[in-house]
Structure 1
Amino acid sequence: MTQPLTDIIWLHDDLRVADNLLLHFASPPEAMLVVYVLDERKLAPWHPDDEGMRLGPARIRFLWQSVMELRGQLLRLGSDLLVKIGSPADEMAALCQALRPRRVRVSHSPCADEAADIDALRAQLSAGTELDVIDNNTLIDAGSLPFAWQEWPGSFSAFRRRVEKDNEIPAPLAAPVTLPPWPDDASRGFPPLQHLCRESANWQADPRGEFDYGGGEAAGHARLQDYLWAHEAIGEQAGPAYYKQTRNGLAGADFSTRFSAWLSRGCLSPRQVHQAVKDWEASHGQCESSYWITFELLWRDYFHHAAELDGAGLFGRRALPPLNDAFNAWRAGRTGIPFIDAAMIELSSTGFLSNRARQNVASYLVKDLKVDWRLGAAWFEHCLIDFDAPSNWGNWRYVGGTGRDPRRNRYFNVLGQADRYDPAGHYVARWLPALVDLPADQRHRPWQKAPEHFARPLAEPYD
């Protein structure tokens, strides 16, 4: 009996069926195996001095919801999903050895570890098996950028001007109607979440965060539709018509799009978000706020393409330094600055933090507490549901003064920021109940008004 022509689809952060180029074929295979390998390196401690895994409980829960939902989608289309835990290159090589596929299809990754895994698999493939590496997770493919790598723009603004002038964003692809069947002799399997971490299986977001992320393609599209279209019908000043005015908010479900979690795992593609915003603009007209959503997607593209140039340098070129008391106080929300402490408690309790809060806690850690920026980046990697390696580490490099942006000395006066963005102290009192009974004008500087109850901060920013 003739061996069927089989393709293996190797998933990373592309956990969707619609607008997934890996699932579209010029010449469809006779059989297809779809596999996701959870990298065992992500289950190692995030720091040598700490037992917590690189994948914190909020991240694992969202990831597992996403793979479970994807498996259901694939089953409905006549396929399935195999989930493995281990070394991605070794697990894929073993599958290729067993199945002898005609090709392996995988999305291009800009990050050093994932790129090295792809190269390692390529070196182990037998003759007759092709490896197709496909641009699948950015607005603009690397090959379509209007400049060569050696002519990389010196700043995001220069990058944005060039790509907005010279590039059309392709429309997203519809989901396939059906998929090739599962190979007859191929294994199937889906390890339970408890196998990874019981803490993750039981993790729930603190309701004070006012938004509970559910992983998966369907949840991502539901959020996309809700944010773009639901608010106008009930007269709320939220959504794409108000995004630029609300994006610096701190609390609530809709001050931000919150698309980033689904983008980070590829449950939504950036082209799907871009097209959805353009559909909204076709009905309502383009405005500065709706443009700003696509502007943020370009920031994401910038970080993803820049990460390829940076290689391992994106993560710093030395081992992480030891943990110290200042860092431990910062991550536990015990610095004495309510605006910082509230944000860090929200981060660990919900897996999310607003952009405004992220900038402030990062600046305070690096500029005021004088802690190595890489510890902050690694802690965010552990905590954030929407962790995206190029964006997270790229932004932290800016804070640490090693990024590509020429403005290397940006400092956030966190008390001034607190007064501006949380003038009544509602945000800090939400996460720090001890502040509830203080007047609004005392909540950001409680050590000044009630020194018998509130310790002075570890490092007092300029006030």
Structure 2
Amino acid sequence: MKTAIVWFKTDLRLYDNEALIKAIAQSEEIIPVYCFDDAHFETTQYGFKKIGNYRAQFLLESLQDLDNSLRKMGSGLVILKGKPEVEIPKIVEEYRALKVFAKREVAFEEKQTENLVQTALFKLRCELETFSTSTLYHAEDLPFAIKDIPDVFTTFRKKTELDATVRAVFKAPITITSPEIPEIILPTLKELDLRFSSIDSRAAIQFKGGETEAMKRLNHYFFESKSVSAYKETRNGMVGEDYSSKFSAWLALGCISPRAIYHEIKKYENENEANDSTYWLVFELLWRDFFRFMFKKYQTKFFLYSGIKSDKVNSKALNKKLLSQWINGTTPSEFINANMLELKKTGFMSNRGRQNVASYFCNELNMDWRIGAAYFESQLIDYDVCSNWGNWAYLAGVGNDPRKHRYFNIEKQANDYDKDSSFRKLWLLQNY
């Protein structure tokens, strides 16, 4: 019997999951697995948990939802915990699997783990086959080789839009043939050395993990509320559920694919209208692609203080007092404080807020931008390695910004984007 393992990572979905579909097509039986990688639950060199409470909760919900969906098809999810390069080969031996199907990684640590697993599997005469499942445009369809991708987004976008097309989605399987898979036992937050944190009731949205919830959100934002038709005008908002799509958390864990969103946009445009706003959502998905391809091109450079530039001055020393004020929302700036409190109490922050607090960190506090990026990594529900580190490098002036030094006038930004102080009042009530 030809048995294959499907190793789920940040692709926790059945719809438009090429690794899963190819595994089903090439095998007689498949074993879906997810491995809680010990390295993801350690404290980083910057002093923060790699995965914080909010993101861990979202992950557990997403895995439970994936298991529910798999069971309806005659399968289920096997949960492993430890080092993937140890645990994946063990399950390969247990089921005598000939092949492991998985999502292809681009960021440095993830790529290292993938290589370690591949080496361990090679010794067992088991093949690891990976698929590019997390971008809107497939890397093979780009009008340039990875090493030649333009470092300026606008150049990348214009040529890609002109010369590349978005591939069709892979439909979700109807049935999956698996041996009997025991009932799922997910680790508790306590076992992961974390604790439950309820999302503050003032949150812009109460995120819940899983493909089911991702599809609900998609349907709400497009077809129930038609909010997508005003996206370009409202996307810089800061209060409420529908000023932006809020797809980011589900995209980050792969509960939905960018291609699925793209094709729903096209469906929406056919049924309703195509305008600047519907295009702008595709534009934002392209930004996400851009950072992924930049990580393929530059590998470790986005984790260096000098980023992808070579002319950055020496790193600034850590100031623990200023860092604490920034994290806890006790800086001299009310606008920064409101945004940082939102992040601390909900695991989310608006795009406008993120740009401002990152600019403040780099320009006003003059600290190593990677400390800020590492705090975001720990705190954000929608943390995505390429988008997070790529955007922080951009704001720090060591990434893909063609303008060398982007500086935000925080007070002007507050007046422009929180004119009536409603956002500041929401989070700093006692001060108003």
Q: Matches of 1:151 and 1:44 in 2, distance apart?
A: 35
Q: Structure 1 residues 347 and 29 mapped into 2: Cα distance closer, same or farther (>3 Å)?
A: same
Matched with 1:342 is 338
One of 289, 300, 308 as aligned partner of 2:277: 289
Correspondences of 1:447-458 after superposition (within 5 Å): none
Does 6-15 or 421-430 show the bigger shift? 421-430
Query: Tell me, what secondary structure is at the counterpart of 1:208?
Result: coil
Name the SS of the counterpart of 2:202 in structure 1: helix
Return 165-174 or 410-419, whichever deviates more: 165-174
Report 1:174-253 matches (<5 A).
174-182=171-179, 189-197=184-192, 200=195, 202-232=196-226, 239-253=227-241
Pairing partner for 1:28 from 26, 29, 44: 26
CA distance in structure 2 between the partners assigned to 1:59 and 1:204 by the alignment: 12
Q: Do the aligned residues in 2 keep the contact of 1:65 with 1:215 (CA within 8 Å)? A: yes
Q: Which residue is equivalent to 1:389?
A: 385
Instruction: Summarize the alignment of residues 268-307 of structure 1 with structure 2, pairs less than 5 Å apart.
Output: 268-307=256-295
Deviation at 1:46, TM superposition (A): 3.5
Are 2:147 and 1:150 aligned? yes
C-alpha change, 1:76 and 1:338, in structure 2 (3 Å) is: same
- How far apart in 1 are the matches of 2:266 and 2:319? 46
- What's the offset of the Cα at 1:408? 2.1
Compute the RMSD of aligned alpha carbons.
1.9
Q: 2:92 touches 2:98 (CA, 8 Å); kept in 1?
A: no
Preserved contact between residue 29 and residue 180 of structure 1 (Cα < 8 Å): no
Check the 8 A contact 1:47/1:320 in 2, yes or no. no
Aligned counterparts of 1:56 and 1:396: Cα–Cα separation in 2:
19
Residue of structure 1 equivalent to 2:108: 112
Aligned length: 422
User: Contact 2:41/2:192 (CA < 8 Å) preserved in 1?
Assistant: no
Q: Please give the residue correspondences for 1:153-164 in structure 2 after superposition, counting only pairs within 5 Å.
A: 153-164=150-161
- Spell out the pairing of 1:288-327 with structure 2 (5 A cutoff): 288-316=276-304, 322=318, 324-327=320-323
1:439 equivalent in structure 2: none
Tell me what 1:448 maps to. none
Cα contact 2:317–2:367 (8 A) shared by 1 = no
* Equivalent residue, structure 2, for 1:103: 99
CA contact (8 A) 1:321 1:375 kept: no
Give the letter for the 1:348 counterpart. Answer: K
Deviation at 1:193, TM superposition (A): 2.0
Task: Give how far 1:198 is off.
Answer: 7.1
1:421 counterpart = 2:417: yes
Q: By how many angstroms is 1:197 displaced?
A: 4.6
Q: 1:135 to 1:169 in 2, by over 3 A?
A: same
Which secondary structure state, in structure 2, belongs to the residue aligned with residue 116 of structure 1? helix
SS in 1 for 2:295: helix
Cα deviation for residue 192 of structure 1 reads 3.1
SS in 2 for 1:395: helix
- Counterpart in 1 of 2:309? none
Higher mean alpha-carbon deviation, 107-116 vs 216-225, is at 107-116
- Asked if the contact 1:84–1:190 (Cα under 8 Å) also holds between the matched residues in 2, the reply is no
Distance change (3 Å), C-alpha of 1:253 and 1:178: same
Q: Distance in 2 between matches of 1:357 and 1:311?
A: 28
How far apart are residue 127 of structure 1 and its match? Answer: 5.4
- Distance in 2 (CA, whole Å) between partners of 1:420 and 1:290 is 24
Q: What is the alpha-carbon distance in structure 2 between the residues aligned to residue 260 and residue 223 of structure 1?
A: 11
Structure 2 stretches lacking a partner, 5+ long: 307-314
Query: Structure 2 length as normaliser, TM-score?
Result: 0.93
Residue equivalent to 2:310: none
Of residues 432, 435, 445, the one that matches 2:431 is 435
Task: Give me the whole-angstrom Cα distance separating, in 2, the residues matched to 1:62 and 1:207.
Answer: 17
| 5+ residue gaps, structure 1 | 233-238, 437-463
CA–CA distance in structure 2, aligned partners of residues 321 and 116 of structure 1: 29
CA contact (8 A) 2:151 2:294 kept: no
* Cα shift at 1:86: 1.5
- Structure 2 residue identity aligned to 1:258: K
Alignment partners' CA distance in 1, 2:316 and 2:99? 38
Cα distance 1:34–1:323, how it changes in 2: closer, same or farther (>3 A)? Answer: farther
Q: Secondary structure at the match of 2:112?
A: helix
